[in-house]
Chains A and B, each alone.
Chain A
Amino acid sequence: MYTTRGQRARRSLLALPVAAVLAVGTACAGAHNSSGDGSDARNAAAVRGLPADQWDDLHRSATTESPSTFQGPTASVTPPKNLKVAAITCLSILSGCVSPATGAEQAAKKLGWQVRVFDGGGTPDKQNAQMLNALSWGADIILNIAIDPNAVQDGLRAAQRADVPVGAGSNGLDTPNPPVKPPSGKLGYAFDVAPDYAALGQKAAEWVRADSEGKANIVVYSDKEFPSVLALQKGLLAGLDKCDDCTVQPLRYFTGNQVAQVLPQSVVSYLRSNPDVDYVFIPYDPAAAAVVPAIAQAGLGNKVRLISVLGSQENLNFVRKGQVQVADAAYDNLYMGYAMLDQTSRLLTKKPLAQPHGENLPYVVLDKTNVPEAGSDWHASFDYPGDFDALWK
């Protein structure tokens, strides 16, 4: 086959960047491996374990809700009348995004308020647009569910101009989590109702320790985009650090837009090249939902046990069937809806917000022993709707 000089030159031109990328990639891989060995040694936690008869207690502790009784606000509040509340979900096809809005709708019926749910569409552009739509609708307050305030500065500025407060849920930016103040010149939320993510991470670690009887070899995946994930990761690693014979592999990171394609392949490749790893932690359910089928299809379903966070119904179904994912660190999203409206009442009546701002939202680790029935979200066992109702006089 003949090639012209021009064709050869073009091929050479194309080959250059490819070669450069491969060279850089190889160099990076070498650097990563060498530093990875060091991290391995640093992260391989070998601390004291528990006597064999105490694994059941540890498992019971992880799978028991915290708190087990209503620990929300104690000071009553007189809610304002006829409020219009706009609840903007991060993405309305995700049950974890919608459930708090459902809780808010349920609570609003008792208060005689109107709640309108807007679909944030999963992108900052849509979320900003929906905040503006909420203002046009005449909302008295906007509640953003799992929406990063840094991504919706446009909407926050418009709300500030219209003198409409913006609260939030599920971001992990506010107490009991370490409060994250907006950087100078940026706007944030009046409150953010969320569980204690670090404590939830500790609970997940307890479950892993109990399930593996202190011998887990775990890889923890994380996503730096979300403060809630970072808080949870801190608690998880602190909890795993108490495990004598557990091995914690170096952290592996991904981003939200890699969930569908890159993450599943990456996890499977990692598990193939690290056959001793028997536990995988994925920081949120939609990502786990993408990883579970990939692990199963790769024939690794019987070798690894996956744990994730949120309590989405799809993932609870995996747990129910024992299909790769065997546990889910969940929190009560319906409670979150009630708590967001409670904080709204306090904010708009100029009363101090309930402390902590997360209002002690209940959480638990769900596995086959306590997973709710198919089609149901997990809810705390106590009658918190009644407790909130009693507060709203």
Chain B
Amino acid sequence: MTDKTMSHVDAPASAPTPRERLSPGRVLSWVSGYETLVLLALLVVAFSLASDRFLTAANLQNVALVQAVTATMTLAVLMPLIIGEFDLSVGYLIGFLVMLEAVVAQHTSNPVLIMAAGPVVGLLVGLVNGLLTVYFKISSFIATLGVGILLSGGTQGISNGKVIFENIPSSLTSLASDDFLGLSLAVWLTLLLALILFYILEHTPQGRFWYAIGGSERVAYLAGVRTNRMRMTAFAAAGLIVGIAANFALAQAGSANPGYGPELLLPAYAAAFLGVATYRPGYYNVLGALVAIILLAIGFNGLSLLGVPFWVQPIFNGSVLIIAVLVARQETRQVRTG
């Protein structure tokens, strides 16, 4: 646990020395908290100059179209991160839930049952993660990894190792295929989810308690926060959101593959980490995460349109992440030292 929240509140104010004024952090202070937005703007300009295909409505629509799953997964991992924990099961969990919904679709044509299966079971798995971490005191790293590996076995078992693509209802796939104002329903629902989470995290006691626990669980406990219960809800929320992401994933692909899922873990965490550089530097936050997702998506799209070799994209993503987090850390230090 860190003491970010408390140190932020208690930070003493002091005038910067001339040397501090020339430090890289001070030079960047005029865009403080919005460096990734500046980088995003620079990328947009650069790609627009380099490719006449980049700044078109069709291309930007295409960029947004496939971000629903990654964005929702990022929102899911934010919850445990805010309370200072990790949930490593989310990649395996989405694979399991997508497969579960596809299997349910083989037995019923009721779309409500199919679409509810993911969120409900996701919520339960989140509660199990919370139970293991909070009440059995197992490190969240180990507990959620264990649950994830267990789920991967479950995915293989219920799928029998096969890709399932029959009987996926069109009402589900319409989440990806139907659009409103040029964006698919899945994208709009992701934005709605982000809005709800933003409200909860920024404007309700629940959100403030989560941040307080992430800052210092001990202090939060002494302040009267029911920390165990709140930590459980963070894991449960993560599971629930992964269940929603499973609906988007099944809608987009139209099939469930037993190998799907684990590859989504790192991009989700990368976006969440990158998000700490925006809006509330040093803190995991929804707006920052959304900007991070757009930044990485624009980078992927622009580099693809330019036809760069395949190894350039991971280098771009890794560099952006490291630089942005370094900048965020610098800003956090400035806040602490005044």
Assess the B161–A135 pair: CB atoms within 8 A. no
Closest chain-A Cβ to B179's Cβ sits at a distance in Å of 10
Closest chain-B Cβ to A271's Cβ sits at a distance in Å of 21
Decide: A138 near B53, CB < 8 A? Known: A10-B136, A122-B263, A257-B262: yes
Across-interface contacts of B264 in A (CB, < 8 A): 123, 125
The distance in angstroms between the C-alpha atoms of A132 and B165, with both chains bound, is: 22
The distance in angstroms between the C-alpha atoms of A133 and B297, with both chains bound, is: 11
Assess the A137–B161 pair: CB atoms within 8 A. no
- B173-194 Cβ-contact flags toward A at 8 Å (1 or 0): 1001100000000000000000
Q: Smallest CB-CB separation from A10: which chain B residue?
A: B136
Of the residues A125, A183, A253, contact of B161 by C-beta under 8 Å: A253
Tell me the chain B residues, 41-85 only, with Cβ under 8 Å from chain A.
Answer: 53-54, 56, 58-59, 62-63, 65-66, 69-70
Closest chain-A Cβ to B317's Cβ sits at a distance in Å of 11
Across-interface contacts of B305 in A (CB, < 8 A): 133, 136-137
Tell me the chain A residues, 138-158 only, with Cβ under 8 Å from chain B.
Answer: 138, 148, 150-154, 157-158
Assess the B161–A124 pair: CB atoms within 8 A. no
Across-interface contacts of B304 in A (CB, < 8 A): 118, 130, 133, 137
Q: Decide if B12 is an interface residue (CB 8 Å cutoff).
A: no
Q: Decide if B206 is an interface residue (CB 8 Å cutoff).
A: no
Of the residues A148, A154, A186, A223, contact of B66 by C-beta under 8 Å: A154
Closest chain-B Cβ to A260's Cβ sits at a distance in Å of 10
Assess the B258–A14 pair: CB atoms within 8 A. no
Tell me the chain B residues, 209-267 only, with Cβ under 8 Å from chain A.
Answer: 252-255, 257-260, 262-264
Assess the B65–A154 pair: CB atoms within 8 A. yes
Q: Smallest CB-CB separation from A259: which chain B residue?
A: B259
Q: Decide if B307 is an interface residue (CB 8 Å cutoff).
A: yes
Assess the A136–B62 pair: CB atoms within 8 A. yes
- B84-115 Cβ-contact flags toward A at 8 Å (1 or 0): 00000000000000000000000000000000
Across-interface contacts of A92 in B (CB, < 8 A): 310
Across-interface contacts of A150 in B (CB, < 8 A): 163, 165, 253-255, 257
Q: Decide if A220 is an interface residue (CB 8 Å cutoff).
A: no
Assess the B255–A153 pair: CB atoms within 8 A. yes
Interface centre among B156, B177, B253, B263 (most CB of A within 10 A): B253
Closest chain-A Cβ to B13's Cβ sits at a distance in Å of 46
Assess the B66–A123 pair: CB atoms within 8 A. no
Assess the A137–B53 pair: CB atoms within 8 A. yes
A-B contact count (CB 8 A): 117
Assess the B162–A124 pair: CB atoms within 8 A. no
The distance in angstroms between the C-alpha atoms of A89 and B177, with both chains bound, is: 24
Assess the B136–A255 pair: CB atoms within 8 A. no
Closest chain-A Cβ to B134's Cβ sits at a distance in Å of 12
Q: Smallest CB-CB separation from A135: which chain B residue?
A: B62
Tell me the chain A residues, 165-190 only, with Cβ under 8 Å from chain B.
Answer: 183, 185-186
Q: Smallest CB-CB separation from A128: which chain B residue?
A: B66
The bracket for how many chain B residues form the interface is 35 or more
Across-interface contacts of B263 in A (CB, < 8 A): 122-123, 125
Q: Decide if B152 is an interface residue (CB 8 Å cutoff).
A: yes
Q: Decide if B160 is an interface residue (CB 8 Å cutoff).
A: yes
Q: Decide if A215 is an interface residue (CB 8 Å cutoff).
A: no
Q: Decide if A392 is an interface residue (CB 8 Å cutoff).
A: no
Q: Decide if B32 is an interface residue (CB 8 Å cutoff).
A: no
Q: Decide if B330 is an interface residue (CB 8 Å cutoff).
A: no
Q: Decide if A254 is an interface residue (CB 8 Å cutoff).
A: yes
Across-interface contacts of B152 in A (CB, < 8 A): 257
Across-interface contacts of B65 in A (CB, < 8 A): 132, 154, 158
Across-interface contacts of A122 in B (CB, < 8 A): 263
Q: Decide if A368 is an interface residue (CB 8 Å cutoff).
A: no
Q: Decide if A314 is an interface residue (CB 8 Å cutoff).
A: no
Q: Decide if A119 is an interface residue (CB 8 Å cutoff).
A: yes
Q: Decide if A129 is an interface residue (CB 8 Å cutoff).
A: yes
Closest chain-A Cβ to B266's Cβ sits at a distance in Å of 11
Across-interface contacts of A48 in B (CB, < 8 A): none
Assess the A125–B59 pair: CB atoms within 8 A. no
Across-interface contacts of B170 in A (CB, < 8 A): 185
Closest chain-A Cβ to B74's Cβ sits at a distance in Å of 13
Across-interface contacts of B5 in A (CB, < 8 A): none
Decide: A124 near B258, CB < 8 A? Known: A132-B65, A185-B173: no
Across-interface contacts of B300 in A (CB, < 8 A): 129, 133
- A100-141 Cβ-contact flags toward B at 8 Å (1 or 0): 000000000000000011110011110011101101111000
What are some 20 contacts across the A-B interface (CB < 8 A)?
A10-B136, A125-B69, A132-B63, A132-B66, A133-B301, A136-B59, A136-B305, A148-B163, A150-B255, A151-B253, A153-B173, A153-B176, A153-B255, A154-B66, A157-B176, A158-B65, A224-B161, A225-B163, A225-B258, A255-B156
Q: A116-B307, A125-B66, A158-B62 are in contact. List 7 more A-B contacts (CB 8 A).
A: A89-B310, A117-B310, A124-B260, A148-B255, A150-B254, A151-B253, A157-B176
Residues of B within 8 A of A (CB): 53-54, 56, 58-59, 62-63, 65-66, 69-70, 135-136, 152, 156, 160-163, 165-166, 170, 173, 176-177, 252-255, 257-260, 262-264, 300-301, 304-305, 307, 310, 313
Residues of A within 8 A of B (CB): 10, 14, 89, 92-93, 116-119, 122-125, 128-130, 132-133, 135-138, 148, 150-154, 157-158, 162, 183, 185-186, 223-225, 253-258
